[in-house]
A and B are shown apart, each in its own frame.
Chain A
Amino acid sequence: MGDHSHGSPEDSGTVAKADDVAQDRFPDPGLPPHRPRLADRDPRAAKRHERQVALLFTISIIGTLFFFVAYFVLGQLGDMSFAELRVQNAALGLGTAFAMLGIGIGIVHWAKTLMPDHELVEERHEIRPEADRKDAQEIIDTVLDESGIKRRPLIRNTLIGAIALAPIPAIFMFRDLDRTGNTASEMIDSLRHTMWDTGVRLTRDPSGTPIKAADVQIGSAFHVIPEGLNEAEQPLNEKAKAVVLLMRMDPKEMNVSPGREDWNVDGIVAYSKICTHVGCPIALYEQHTHHLLCPCHQSTFDLANECKVVFGPAGHALPQLPIEVDAEGYLVAKSDFHEPVGPSYWERG
């Protein structure tokens, strides 16, 4: 063997050298010797394999029959208990699995043990990079020359025009998937407004019953929808923007910024439930740490600091809904949100 310490591309030192072949090549190891299989040598083994393959196919047949037994005999959907349904599901799955696996394993076993196993050598074609490249170049040149695209600019220009125009109908078809008839600016504008407005009562989700300020004790969390949402034209679309989480904390623990002093009612605060990252509903409220956690990407908002982001990918604080108490003692919104709810978008600014 060669000297390991002085390897070079010509003489790696680790490969045994063939005497008279060029030194930058590995010697062709050739094919391993053909080894006859058990079934080739012993007719009894061949017979055994035959029976095994037939058995596997029979298992497949039994699997299919088992499926039908499970499907029709074990019961019909609607008059089954959950426990019976589970048993039937498992039986259907097992039947299908055996039906498929029996065929698959049987065929492979057949091919491996009984079908002819002579080795075939398919030579790889010779690699000629320069010649191949030249051939390809020639084909392109011929196409350019014979099509006359260089000599006939009229054809070339009309073709470019046709290709440029052809996709435009698709734009209109996609545009007309929207049947609301709103202009682009109206659609963007709809992101800025929700159902909340001056005097709209805060009601419980999903019952729609109004909430009295006295009902909200420190540490509690209410899931809130605007009054009348269940009767709205598009309740889910409206809900997606208007859902609010109502919480009460000790007013002493709250840091209220100037201009927001009258947005809470004695520590009762309402914040949009839509995460400002990608819009998941945030409702994982921890009453002692005052943290709101988004379950999707772990954005964490600090309720004590007006829902500023303290962790995670969210871009800005949750919008606060200014609230007050009406004459009957129910909580109502003072106005809509002062900023768009949910994730950022280009026009949000």
Chain B
Amino acid sequence: MKALSKKRRHPLAAVALLLFGLLITGSLYTAAGNIQEAKAAETSTASQSDIEEGGKLFVANCATCHGKNAEGTNDGPSLIGVGAAAVDFQVGTGRMPMQMQGPQAQVKPVQFDDEQISQLAAYVASLGAGPAIPDEQYLDTSEGDAAHGGTVFRVNCAMCHNAAAAGGALTRGKFAPTLTGVEEKHIYEAMATGPQNMPVFNDSNITPTEKRDVITFLKTIEANGSAGGAALGSLGPVAEGLFIWTAGLGIVIAFTIWLTSRPS
């Protein structure tokens, strides 16, 4: 400690401290980014499943809020006619079963395995016609047109999900989530079913081919990353302003202190 306290008046001490602080902030940020990027396990598409098994799972896990016959209660909407895609999205991303009542269901670790999800989806699909789990051909991003997908995205999606698909705030605690790291299938299902407060973009509004283009666009910008260096969350002026006000002004202040200090 004595050696440290001797050195703290060294002219380079301030610079060293600044570099140390920047290093810590940088590594924390990188670590946080990596955690976010960690993806959920691959899920296979639902095949022909046992509706009865799905029904049992439903009664055990979902009926409290959605009613014994999925007719809906005060705590949850009716699931008749929502289709297999809605179940695959809500359960497959961990939003359902809901952890607690709140402005909107949050993503959390998936509670069921792929077989159980497809059984649940088959059960709910059997209650009434609704959007089905998309075909593989509409999820193949190697076939899609990223430029056209970008146009469709900017007209229909960017106002809530942000032009860089980073997500954004809505009213009273609700928010549009980031689309980075979301599976192709789940993006498609979200458009087709309109989960939570998201509007529905059915196949006559955005055709399945256009949905594939949108997914291609999202995966392209995700793979390309930011061409101009650190994107700072792609949140626009808030994140960028915060950065320049702290880091930029900090450097300016450090220089003015150095300029007016007496040399040793």
Interface of A with B (CB < 8 Å)? 35, 37-39, 82-83, 85-86, 89-90, 93, 108, 112-113, 117, 204-206, 211-212, 215-223, 247, 281, 283-289, 291, 293, 295, 298, 300, 311
Instruction: Give 19 A-B pairs besides A108-B259, A284-B159 with Cβ atoms closer than 8 angstroms.
Output: A38-B264, A82-B224, A82-B227, A86-B228, A86-B229, A117-B263, A212-B204, A215-B202, A217-B202, A220-B194, A220-B201, A222-B205, A247-B199, A284-B170, A286-B174, A287-B198, A287-B200, A295-B168, A298-B171
Residues of A within 8 A of B43 (CB): none
**Which 4 residue pairs are nearest across A and B when measured between Cβ atoms?**
A221-B199, A215-B204, A286-B197, A220-B200
Contact B197 A86 (CB under 8 A): no
Closest to B77 in A: A288
A220-B199 contact given A284-B160, A286-B170, A295-B168, CB 8 Å threshold: yes
Contact B159 A281 (CB under 8 A): yes
Residues of A within 8 A of B252 (CB): none
Give Cα A286 to B169, complex, Å.
12
A229, chain B: closest CB distance, angstroms: 13
Contact B205 A89 (CB under 8 A): no
Residues of A within 8 A of B159 (CB): 281, 283-284, 295
Q: How many residues of B contact A (CB 8 A)?
A: 32
Dominant SS at the B interface? loop
A343, chain B: closest CB distance, angstroms: 19
Give Cα A112 to B260, complex, Å.
9
Contact A223 B263 (CB under 8 A): no
Residues of A within 8 A of B174 (CB): 286, 289
A46, chain B: closest CB distance, angstroms: 12
Residues of B within 8 A of A291 (CB): 171
Residues of B within 8 A of A284 (CB): 159-160, 170, 176
Residues of A within 8 A of B160 (CB): 283-284
Give Cα A280 to B58, complex, Å.
44
Residues of A within 8 A of B262 (CB): 35
CB contact list, B148-181 vs A, under 8 A = 151, 155-156, 159-160, 168, 170-172, 174, 176
B173, chain A: closest CB distance, angstroms: 11
Contact A300 B171 (CB under 8 A): yes
A293, chain B: closest CB distance, angstroms: 5
Question: Could you list some 14 contacts between A and B, CB below 8 A?
Answer: A38-B264, A39-B263, A82-B227, A85-B227, A204-B205, A216-B205, A217-B200, A284-B159, A285-B199, A287-B194, A287-B199, A289-B171, A289-B174, A295-B168
A287-B197 contact given A205-B155, A206-B151, CB 8 Å threshold: yes
A93, chain B: closest CB distance, angstroms: 8
B198, chain A: closest CB distance, angstroms: 7
Residues of A within 8 A of B264 (CB): 37-38
B96, chain A: closest CB distance, angstroms: 15
Contact B225 A82 (CB under 8 A): yes
Interface centre among A38, A93, A204 (most CB of B within 10 A): A204
Contact B263 A112 (CB under 8 A): yes
CB contact list, B11-48 vs A, under 8 A = none
Give Cα A289 to B229, complex, Å.
39
Closest to B198 in A: A287
Residues of B within 8 A of A117 (CB): 263
Residues of A within 8 A of B155 (CB): 205-206, 223
B15, chain A: closest CB distance, angstroms: 11
Residues of B within 8 A of A293 (CB): 170-171
Residues of B within 8 A of A300 (CB): 171
Q: Is B196 close to A, CB under 8 A?
A: yes
Contact A288 B196 (CB under 8 A): yes
